[in-house]
Structure 1
Amino acid sequence: MFTLQVQAFLYIMARITSFIVVVPGFSHKSVPGTVKVFLSLILSFLVYTRSSEIQVYEELLLFMLAVVREVIIGLTMGFAAKLIFSAVEMAGQFIDFQVGYSMGAVYDPASGATSSYYGRLFYWMSIMVFFMLNLHHTMLLSLMDSFQVALPGQVGFSGISLEGILFLFSLSFKIAFSIAAPMLVVLLVTDIVMGLINRSVPQINVFMLGMPLKSLLGMVLFLFLASSIMNHAGKTLFMMSEYVTKAVEMFR
């Protein structure tokens, strides 16, 4: 009986640990591994105490398949939440490309990838809004509620749909464009005007004039639109629990 209880606890911990490993805010390299482990243990214990009957197996193969399923569910939920933050960062990268800052992208040791200036700025703005609005509480509640939607200890992936995965990815691009659109439109108009000037007065070095002008214009636009960008990011992050739930429902 004790072995079966441990098995049920491992199902829960596998999902929670895999979720925390990838979800923004908790998966960052600045968060000590000890904190992640203790958080996983505490949340797993809380879920275990409120869980009803959990399917357990005596066969090792079925047990391993059930653990793999829980890991995949946790990773899917974590990546669904991460897509929202990535969408906000992508909006900044669109602006960087339009301004010309993408040429100066640098390696970010925290994420293990190259990042641009506005991309990193937008990402940390979204993290700040995330904790300011206590959305980390909502996200953890969604994680705990997922055990009522997709019961732990099951074997099989019959509920996974390609449509749900494509929805999450298309949603991230939609969010990115909606956040970056105001600045992109102004910068695009600036490019058109600079092109017309180049055709009208070929003696002017538009490239040398355009780079500092677009950099200055980008900073001014950001200062004017920072509050609206944060409001938009906050509204998007508020819907994160809904997106995480959609990801869990694929395993129902």
Structure 2
Amino acid sequence: MFTVTYAQLNAWLTAFLWPFVRIAALVATAPAFGHTSVPTRVKIGLAAFATLIVAPTLGAMPQATVFSAAGVWIMVNQFLIGAALGLTMQLVFTAVEMAGSLIGLQMGLGFATFFDPSSNSSAEVIARFLNTIALLAFLAFDGHLQVVNALIASFESVPIGAGVIGATGLRTLVQWGGAIFSAGLLLALPVVIALLVATLSLGILNRAAPQIGVFQVGFPVTLLVGLLLVQLMLPNMIPFFSHLFDMGVDAMERVAGSMR
């Protein structure tokens, strides 16, 4: 007769549940994995499948029951670590959307918005366009596999335990947010400067020849210039996105390493 003791059941639960919480938190927050178009059952199944592969490779678990105070605190820590790692890569796409919003605002398309299911809010057309290009490039460069690899490596840098997450890790995440938003501004800077020059030129033309009617031709001109510049930037955007993804993976490793 097959019997299972409470100690064995607790060991099996801790070996599966604690890694599962960290992996599920990353799946829910990371780009591509956490998109709203991916069903919740698929996310849970993917996290469970990854846990079954990763759990046997982990070392000894802390001596605590799953539903004790220490066990719940460990679970909370694992959730925060996984969410922080997923947010680290998600900031890359947020910076790309910010660059698209700045470009669309300068083009006069700030009013052209539609519902974004990934954030449950309205998003500008150019921002959604750049985000889609970035997401396709992310999948083409195997960024999702690099994220999974960084997650698995985090179990070595931050073993499962009841220790409090260090403030250095959160500070590293905040610094990464500032750095990646600077990269987003650099992405939008060429188009923004060119549109600013076009707007200044239209202002000078309006002063020189008011009969032309700059207010009637201003919007089509800025829109045309902006679309042409975005088209010219597309070949150079893909290598830039690849660089951002590499920076994001490195940032995930730094954030995980500083959370010890």
Pick the TM interval, shorter chain.
Answer: over 0.9
105-114 or 142-151: bigger deviation: 105-114
Runs of at least 5 residues in structure 1 that lack an aligned partner in the other structure? none
Radius of gyration: which is bigger? 2
- Secondary structure of 2:183 counterpart: helix
**2:238 — aligned with what?**
230
Query: What is the aligned counterpart of 1:26 among 33, 41, 45?
Result: 33
- After superposition, the Cα gap between the structure-2 partners of 1:162 and 1:199, relative to the gap in structure 1 and judged at 3 Å, is farther
- Residue matched to 2:52: 45
Select the residue among 86, 89, 92 that pairs with 2:94: 86
Offset of residue 49 of structure 1: 1.0
Structure 1 match to 2:146: 138
CA drift at 1:161:
4.9
C-alpha distance after superposition, 1:80-115 (max 9, x if no partner): 110011111211111011111112222223321111
Give the equivalent residue in structure 2 for 1:166.
174
* Structure 2 residue matching 1:101: 3-state secondary structure: coil
CA contact (8 A) 2:100 2:130 kept: yes
* Contact 1:8–1:55 (8 Å) recurs in 2: no
Q: Is the 8 A contact 1:69 1:156 kept in 2?
A: yes
Show the counterpart of 1:55: 62
Query: Distance between the aligned counterparts of 1:102 and 1:56, measured in 2?
Result: 55
Give the Cα–Cα distance (whole angstroms) in 2 for the partners of residues 226 and 158 of structure 1: 40
**Conservation of the 8 A alpha-carbon contact between 2:26 and 2:86:** yes
- Structure 1 residue aligned with 2:249: 241
Name the structure 2 match of 1:147: 155
Q: Distance in 2 between matches of 1:62 and 1:207?
A: 66
Aligned residues: 252
Where 2:115 maps in the other structure, the secondary structure is strand
1:209 CA displacement: 1.3
The separation in 2 between residues aligned to 1:95 and 1:179, in whole angstroms, is: 9
1:64 aligns with 72
The aligned counterpart of 1:12 is 19
Corresponding residue SS for 1:247: helix
Cα distance in 1 for residues equivalent to 2:170 and 2:154: 20
Partner amino acid for 1:201?
A
Distance in 1 separating the partners of 2:150 and 2:112? 38
Is the partner of 2:227 in helix, strand or coil? helix
Gapped regions of structure 2 (runs ≥ 5) = 1-6
Aligned to 1:180: 188
Note if contact 2:92-2:244 (Cα within 8 Å) is conserved in structure 1: yes
Work out which of the residue numbers 36, 53, 57 in structure 1 matches 2:43. 36
AA partner of residue 81 (structure 2): I
Shift of 1:203: 3.4
Distance 1:25 1:72 in 2: 19
Does the Cα contact within 8 Å between 1:99 and 1:215 map onto a contact in 2?
A: yes
User: How high is the sequence identity, in percent, across the aligned residues?
Assistant: 25
Contact kept, 8 Å, 1:129 with 1:234, in 2: the verdict is: yes
Query: Contact between 1:98 and 1:184, CA under 8 Å: does it hold in 2?
Result: yes
Q: What SS is found at the alignment partner of 1:106?
A: strand
CA apart distance, 1:162: 5.2
Q: Which amino acid aligns with 2:111?
A: M
Give me the CA root mean square deviation: 1.6
Partner SS state of residue 91, structure 1: helix
